[in-house]
Amino acid sequence: MTPSVTTTAAPATPSPARDILQSVFGYESFRGPQEAIVDTVIAGNDALVLMPTGGGKSLCFQIPALVRPGTAVVISPLIALMQNQVAALVQSGVRAAYLSSTLDWQQTQAIESQLLDGRLDLLYIAPERLVTSRMLDQLSRVQIALFAIDEAHCVSHWGHDFRVDYLGLSVLQNQFPSVPRIALTATADPRTRADIAVRLGLEKAEVFLSSFDRPNIFYRIAQKQKAMDQLEAFIRREHSGDAGIVYCLSRNKVEKTAESLNQRGIKALPYHAGLPGHVREENQTRFLREEGMVMVATIAFGMGIDKPNVRFVAHLDLPKSIESYYQETGRAGRDGLAANAWMVYGIADVIKLKSMMDQSEAAGEFKREEKNKVDAILSLCESVQCRRQLLLTHFGEHMPEPCGHCDNCVEPAPTWEATEPSRLALSAVYRTGSRYGVEYLVEVLRGERSERVVAKGHDTLAVFGKGADVSEKEWRSIFRQLLARGLLLPDIEGFGALRLDDSCRPLLRGEETLMLRREQSKTAASRKTGGKPALDIAAEDRVLWEALRAKRRQLAQEQGVPPYVIFHDTTLLAILEAHPVSLHEMRHIAGIGESKLERYGEDFLAVVTEYA
């Protein structure tokens, strides 16, 4: 895939919003529903914006903030998020600031007086601070352009990042009834969305629902063999020098994986809730500021990572639902350039997930729901259908054709008639008394006279040796798929023993047949997408590309901001493609507004002249 970096602009009637889009942010045209949203809010109406990560939500409130008189108040759940957004706005010449507990008294005072004097276009605040009487009192004394509620799913119990402070935001409609409110989220879960509208009093707001497809992400799910080797091969082949996130289930595994990547020469940092706060913060900052860093993390790392150039998200463990999978993989490729979602999983993961669900304390409806979620993610993994079609269908979207940009589309997995071996597997479970795990069962099926098999007398069973012609690996794959389909269940104790589920009876009685996915030899884990690096810079452009990156790095370091706050990769790529030779030409590059042109135009022009 060649990244497309130029925006094709339809010349349109001038408007204040468009002017700002071009002069401040340096973009030629609005994207998707942005313009309609911006117009709604400028007109003073409420909006509920449901747009995937990378869709361009920020401009939907930043532009009205500059068009409407007064200060826009942005509610955001995380300090790091606020800091980066404010840094980026200041780079574009916007009068933006944030109030947070990290500021000392003097800094706070300075910002408050800017607010009271009407010298701020945007003010970012955490929800718990907004609802204090001091803050509400100050806000009642100034003109407010709008309220923007970012990461609005934090208000919902159904969401993954519920924040009790968000519930207090209902105060806004009562205290400031005439100020327009815009709530934004990337949550794809319909129930959470409905909940947001109710809890924020936005039932009458105009709803802007975008497709949740992420066309630049390539989805790949493969069988786990030697997970670390597979991960290393994947990173080396396709993401050498790229930033990425590797998700693991446990803290311990996070630490081990990060260590192992470093030993293998891939720069990696750990992140999980068990690390001291200052270490987490430092690792997060390094991930944002240094290029080509891999973050190995539990799900504690996630919300509010607005780093646009995360080039891959890898899962070494199965997420517990499709919602989580989509949320986590969605952190890749926010800038719209090619990115990979890569996952390996194996039979042990299936057993772990299923027994976790069994042992869960949840009762009744909630438990049934958990089970459905686990079943859904497993069927996504095992399916031979287009992954994107399955994902979007799950979120209630219809996609008529296979996407052509996932492993199952690019390299379709064959299915095979597996009725007979499946019946053998089930009867091996039954005949050995539902007390053994996969490894043992495979020994019996393959007719291995191991000490333990002989000791138990299982070498005399009718199924003993009946499956000698099926390889060990194939047997594991069969067992995994039987488990994933719920025909087999793990034991409650969690020791890995398997038992039959009632649903396997028709198959055992010969009333049903079963088609299973045939595992690819060598596995698709590291093949296809051509094994190409995600950002494919032509050989003759490499020198200039590296020089542009070095310049950006230097400027970012001088100011203590992440490189993407200076310019996004998309902007650097556009410079690479256009080879601008004057400031005038530089001005036409997407992502370079007037302020950035003035600050950095000459610097980058010099680099182009020197290296091109």
Instruction: Choose among 74, 71, 75, 129: nearest CA to 100.
Output: 129
180 binds, among ligand ADP, Zn ion, none (CB under 5 to 8 A by kind): none
- CB closer to Zn ion out of 122 and 386: 386
Check if the beta carbon of residue 588 is closer than 8 Å to that of residue 555. no
Burial class (CB in 10 A: 0-12, 13-18, 19+), 235: buried
388 binds, among ligand ADP, Zn ion, none (CB under 5 to 8 A by kind): Zn ion
Rounded-to-integer distance, Cα 491 and Cα 358, Å? 9
* Binding footprint of ligand ADP, residue count (CB under 6 A): 19
**How far does Cα 540 stand from its chain's mean position?**
33
Rounded-to-integer distance, Cα 86 and Cα 88, Å? 5
- CB closer to ligand ADP out of 46 and 150: 150
Check if the beta carbon of residue 525 is closer than 8 Å to that of residue 220. yes
Rounded-to-integer distance, Cα 216 and Cα 332, Å? 9
Check if the beta carbon of residue 15 is closer than 8 Å to that of residue 585. no
How many CB atoms neighbour CB 386 within 10 A? 22
Stretch that binds ligand ADP, among 38-46, 54-62, 171-179, 497-505 (CB under 6 A): 54-62
Shortest distance, position 570 Cβ to ligand ADP, whole Å: 6
Length, in residues, of the chain: 612
Give the 3-state secondary structure of residue 489.
strand
Stretch that binds Zn ion, among 387-395, 477-485, 592-600, 602-610 (CB under 5 A): 387-395
- CB closer to Zn ion out of 130 and 391: 391
Site map (CB under 6 A) of ligand ADP, residues 56-85, x = contact: xxxx--------------------------
Per CB under 6 A, 568 contacts ligand ADP:
yes
Structure tokens at 538: 């032509």
- CB closer to ligand ADP out of 216 and 432: 216
595 binds, among Zn ion, ligand ADP, none (CB under 5 to 8 A by kind): none
Structure tokens at 457: 């007398």
Rounded-to-integer distance, Cα 601 and Cα 559, Å? 17
Structure tokens at 40: 């709604």
Burial class (CB in 10 A: 0-12, 13-18, 19+), 437: middle
Rounded-to-integer distance, Cα 71 and Cα 61, Å? 12
Residues from 253 through 312 that contact Zn ion (CB under 5 A) = none
Rounded-to-integer distance, Cα 73 and Cα 96, Å? 10
- CB closer to Zn ion out of 392 and 403: 403
Check if the beta carbon of residue 126 is closer than 8 Å to that of residue 77. yes
Pairing assessment for the beta strands 181-185 and 144-149 based on DSSP bridges: parallel
Per CB under 5 A, 388 contacts Zn ion:
yes
Stretch that binds Zn ion, among 12-20, 184-192, 398-406, 420-428 (CB under 5 A): 398-406
403 binds, among Zn ion, ligand ADP, none (CB under 5 to 8 A by kind): Zn ion
Site map (CB under 5 A) of Zn ion, residues 399-428, x = contact: ---xx--x--x-------------------
Q: Which of 122, 200, 426, 590 binds ligand ADP (CB under 6 A)?
A: 590
Q: Across the strands, what pairs with 314? A: 246, 342
Per CB under 6 A, 124 contacts ligand ADP:
no
Residues from 10 through 39 that contact ligand ADP (CB under 6 A) = 27, 30-31, 34
Give the 3-state secondary structure of residue 164.
helix
Check if the beta carbon of residue 217 is closer than 8 Å to that of residue 61. no
Q: Which of 3, 55, 77, 333 binds ligand ADP (CB under 6 A)?
A: 55
Stretch that binds Zn ion, among 384-392, 434-442, 512-520, 528-536 (CB under 5 A): 384-392
Rounded-to-integer distance, Cα 24 and Cα 18, Å? 10
Shortest distance, position 352 Cβ to ligand ADP, whole Å: 32
Q: Which of 3, 33, 54, 319 binds ligand ADP (CB under 6 A)?
A: 54
590 binds, among Zn ion, ligand ADP, none (CB under 5 to 8 A by kind): ligand ADP
Per CB under 6 A, 334 contacts ligand ADP:
yes
- CB closer to ligand ADP out of 46 and 335: 335
Per CB under 6 A, 423 contacts ligand ADP:
no
Site map (CB under 6 A) of ligand ADP, residues 275-314, x = contact: -------------------------------x-x------
Stretch that binds Zn ion, among 250-258, 331-339, 382-390, 515-523 (CB under 5 A): 382-390
- CB closer to ligand ADP out of 31 and 251: 31
Angle of helix 419-431 relative to helix 472-484, nearest 10 degrees?
80
Per CB under 5 A, 341 contacts Zn ion:
no
- CB closer to ligand ADP out of 7 and 15: 7
Per CB under 5 A, 524 contacts Zn ion:
no
Q: Encode 64-83: b = buried (16+ Cβ within 10 Å), e = exposed.
A: bbbbbeebbbbbbbbbbbbb
Check if the beta carbon of residue 132 is closer than 8 Å to that of residue 101. no
Identify the sign of the CA torsion 67, 68, 69, 74.
Answer: negative
Shortest distance, position 225 Cβ to Zn ion, whole Å: 23
Q: Which of 47, 155, 386, 573 binds Zn ion (CB under 5 A)?
A: 386
Rounded-to-integer distance, Cα 83 and Cα 562, Å? 11
Binding site for ligand ADP (CB under 6 A): 7, 27, 30-31, 34, 51, 53-59, 306, 308, 334-335, 568, 590
Binding site for Zn ion (CB under 5 A): 386, 388, 402-403, 406, 409
